[in-house]
Amino acid sequence: MEDQISRGLEGVAVAETRLSYIDGDAGELVIGGFPVEELAPNAAYEESVFLLLHDRLPDAEELDAFRADLAARRGVGGEVQQVLRQAAAEDEPAMDALRMGVAAANLGHDDGGDADPETQARRAIAVLPTIVATYWRYRQGKDPVEPREDLRHAANYLYMLTGEEPGDAAARGLETYLNSVVDHGLNASTFSARVVVSTESDLVSAATAAVGTLKGPLHGGAPGPALEMLREVHASDDPEGYVREKLDAGERLMGFGHRVYRTRDPRAAVLEAAAERFYGADGDTEFFGTVRSFEDIAVDLLAEHKPDRTLETNVEFYTAVLLDGVDVPRELFTTTFAISRVGGWMAHALEQREDNRLIRPVSRYVGDTGRSWTPAAER
């Protein structure tokens, strides 16, 4: 019998998970049992990660111990700094530098592929912000800022980027973002991580593959272009003309459409509320006004453009607005997504290990058969 082809594996279930649940028709996302609207604005990022790894929230003592453990694993050695300095000197994009940094992160460190799996997971989660910030400092022609163990995960990341301790509102805004996108079912990068671990490879390799997968514009690469689009629209003052021009040219609008949601992405509302704070009384209220009216216009015109497909706002639209609001540089939007999602990648990798089966689908052969060999000189 011919194998059925499921292009893009759409709708195909290949694993059971307790980590997150998406109802794409109802527009609901549950992370570790909590609706995203409940978890994201309240949790510390470390609490979200503990929840994913242990299927419950930590008590106060456990949280302190978990935080301290992650904070102690933040450092990178001179060898890794060297890789990142070189990547910055050669103007490599941030996601490429992150991929190199993750692959190299265990040089001079003993939490690598030989360590027990949860140690590998904790190290990967702890070290990503340091890799990104170190690269960014070199890009700016500055020395890296050493991580501070007394700061929470999100605040320490902002601190390492600028050398200045962030205000509570910015740290909370970033933390809400990190919690919102920490896990999201079997998205492409998480699937990559699971495939790697299913071969009984290690978690550092899984994280490296996942970073490579997240890089593409159909997955994690959208918020940078989404912000550029919003800035252009704001400057042009003609949102409708802008959208029509893009759609007529056959281009996709960044920040809209989703493989799973047939509604507005529930994370959009969480991030919109968090972003609003930064564009409130003292911020750029005019820009935020443009963002909101652009969203309405874009959704209406996308419905006109593709009446048979619901194309609503996805997570990346307000990600762009929120991250810009808390002063994460546009070039680091996708790497900041990775800083969050590594929590989900590692939890999925550990879950895969618990009940592993090699992930090995099949392809249908459509090539020639029965060819006979001709030596090169006679072709």
How many residues are given for the chain? 379
Specify the stretch interacting with ligand ACO by CB under 6 A; choose among 111-119, 148-156, 246-254, 364-372: 246-254
Q: Residue of minimal CB distance from ligand ACO?
A: 257
From candidates 315, 321, 332, 349, binder to ligand ACO by CB under 6 A:
315
Least distance CB 6 / ligand ACO (angstroms)? 13
Q: Which of 153, 184, 258, 348 is catalytic?
A: 258
CB of 45 closer than 8 Å to CB of 154: yes
Distance CA 204, CA 197 (A): 10
Task: Kindly state whether residue 259 participates in binding ligand ACO, applying the rule CB under 6 A.
Answer: yes
Helices 315-325/333-354 angle, 10° precision: 120
Q: Which of 175, 276, 316, 351 is catalytic?
A: 316
Residues between 21 and 40 that touch ligand ACO (CB under 6 A) = none
Least distance CB 278 / ligand ACO (angstroms)? 21
Beta-bridge partner residues of 30: 21, 35
**Residue 232's closest CA among 258, 257, 254?**
254
Least distance CB 254 / ligand ACO (angstroms)? 5
Say whether 316 is catalytic.
Answer: yes
From candidates 50, 136, 242, 256, binder to ligand ACO by CB under 6 A:
256
Say whether 62 is catalytic.
Answer: no
Distance CA 244, CA 38 (A): 37
Q: Pick the closer one to ligand ACO by CB: 270 or 302.
A: 302
Secondary element (H or E) of residue 255: none
Specify the stretch interacting with ligand ACO by CB under 6 A; choose among 40-48, 99-107, 308-316, 348-356: 308-316
CB of 161 closer than 8 Å to CB of 328: yes
Beta-bridge partner residues of 23: 28
Least distance CB 193 / ligand ACO (angstroms)? 15
Residues between 162 and 221 that touch ligand ACO (CB under 6 A) = 218-219
From candidates 255, 266, 325, 343, binder to ligand ACO by CB under 6 A:
255
Task: Kindly state whether residue 262 participates in binding ligand ACO, applying the rule CB under 6 A.
Answer: no
From candidates 18, 142, 292, 309, binder to ligand ACO by CB under 6 A:
309
CB of 295 closer than 8 Å to CB of 313: yes
Specify the stretch interacting with ligand ACO by CB under 6 A; choose among 147-155, 166-174, 250-258, 351-359: 250-258
**Residue 170's closest CA among 322, 292, 336, 38?**
322
Amino acid at 39: L
CB of 271 closer than 8 Å to CB of 176: yes
Scanning the structure block, which residue is given the tokens 């060898």? 79
Residue 325's contacts (CB-CB under 8 Å, 6 or more residues apart) are 173, 275, 277, 278, 279, 283
DSSP state of 256: B
CB of 188 closer than 8 Å to CB of 209: no
Window 213-232: contact mask with ligand ACO (x via CB under 6 A): -----xx--x----------
Amino acid at 272: E
Least distance CB 341 / ligand ACO (angstroms)? 9
Binding interface with ligand ACO (CB under 6 A): 218-219, 222, 252-259, 302, 306, 309, 311, 314-316
| Catalytic sites, residue numbers | 258, 316
